[in-house]
Amino acid sequence: MSTLSQTALIHRFNGISFTVRSSPDLLKSLDTVDAREDDILLVSYPKSGTHWLAEIIRHIYNCKVTLTSPIEFGDISRVKELNNLSSKRIIPTHLDYNMLPSNFKVKQCKTFYIIRNPKDVAVSMYHYYKDNPNLPTIDSWTVFLELFLKGDVVCGSWFDHFLSWEEHKNDRNILFLFYEDMKKDLPKVVKKMSIFLEINISDSETEEICEKSSFTEMKSNVEKENSDSNHTVCALTSNRKLIFRKGAVGDWKNYFTPKQNKMFAEMFNKKMELILVLTHIQNCK
């Protein structure tokens, strides 16, 4: 990665890397965004399934909602733009919990946090970097994995991001979802989401939502939606062709060498040690 491309495309805020598409002035002013009690936040680390989640929620509400691009995407005018949007707002973000505007915490807005196997996230993000002109050039998978493990990528460390939200997994207004569960049994997850949103949907409605929100269906709509640069919930590109690649579970096995897998496992165990200890203590009660 060249120093020039890094400087031109990336800046750091609170020690976390952001693209220039998220201006420092906006990031400094996020606490001035008005939160509403009926706002719904869709939170994730990049490449974890936010677009899929957004599509499901849109259909649960029969598309009678305002889906925004990420709260941290744009310049200072973004604050006024968000404040002027009509309710109900569905607001995606890749911010960690500590950077989330305090107004949304005070209002206890309903929040979904979607988690995906970080090894699959790393692979998906690698391809995203390779094909995205808004991100620095990456020389190889090996180089990218090292950067990913160091947290020297857009949105910072996956581990730190997850841990910041994991502390709040038992908050009543936050629902944790797993990407792998969505792939395995989407109707069950859709039902879980609708209950959390306090919306009653029938089995036939659930089936219809799943069909409209399938990965294949969303990917087939890319050409149509790509004509509208504002029709995206991704802060890193307006080109929706880059958003949907495989959506696969376990694709990391095609990239990780045994040595890399061991290195990743060591980092994972080190970062998650406290969680594992607390889980063990809770299980012993």
Would you place residue 231 in the very low, low, confident or very high pLDDT band (cuts 50, 70, 90)?
Answer: very low
Q: How far apart are CA 198 and CA 193, in angstroms?
A: 9
User: Span 5-23, mean pLDDT?
Assistant: 87
pLDDT per residue over 127-157, tens digit each? 999 988 889 989 899 999 999 999 999 999 9
31 close to 95: Cβ distance less than 8 angstroms: no
Radius of gyration of the chain (CA): 19
More confident residue, 231 or 44: 44
User: Span 97-116, mean pLDDT?
Assistant: 97
- What residues have CB less than 8 Å from 95, skipping those under 6 apart? 30, 43, 71, 72
3-state secondary structure of 47: coil
pLDDT at site 133: 86
CB count, 10 Å around CB of 83?
A: 12
Give the domain CATH number at 19: 3.40.50.300
pLDDT at site 5: 46
pLDDT of 85 > 60? The answer is yes
* Total-model pTM: 0.88
- What residues have CB less than 8 Å from 188, skipping those under 6 apart? 181
% residues pLDDT > 70 (the chain) = 84
pLDDT at site 221: 62
Length of the chain: 285
Q: Which residues constitute the domain of residue 183?
A: 3-283
Beta bridge partners of 275: none
pLDDT of 58 > 50? The answer is yes
Least confident of 42-56, 94-108, 238-252: 238-252
More confident residue, 63 or 248: 63
pLDDT at site 219: 65
More confident residue, 68 or 229: 68
39 close to 88: Cβ distance less than 8 angstroms: yes
26 close to 79: Cβ distance less than 8 angstroms: yes
By annotation, the residues acting in catalysis are 94
DSSP result, 91-145: EEE---GGGS-HHHHHTT-EEEEEE--HHHHHHHHHHHHHH-TTS-----HHHHH
Domain tally, the chain: 1
Q: How far apart are CA 64 and CA 54, in angstroms?
A: 13
pLDDT per residue over 238-269, tens digit each? 444 544 555 678 999 999 999 999 999 999 99
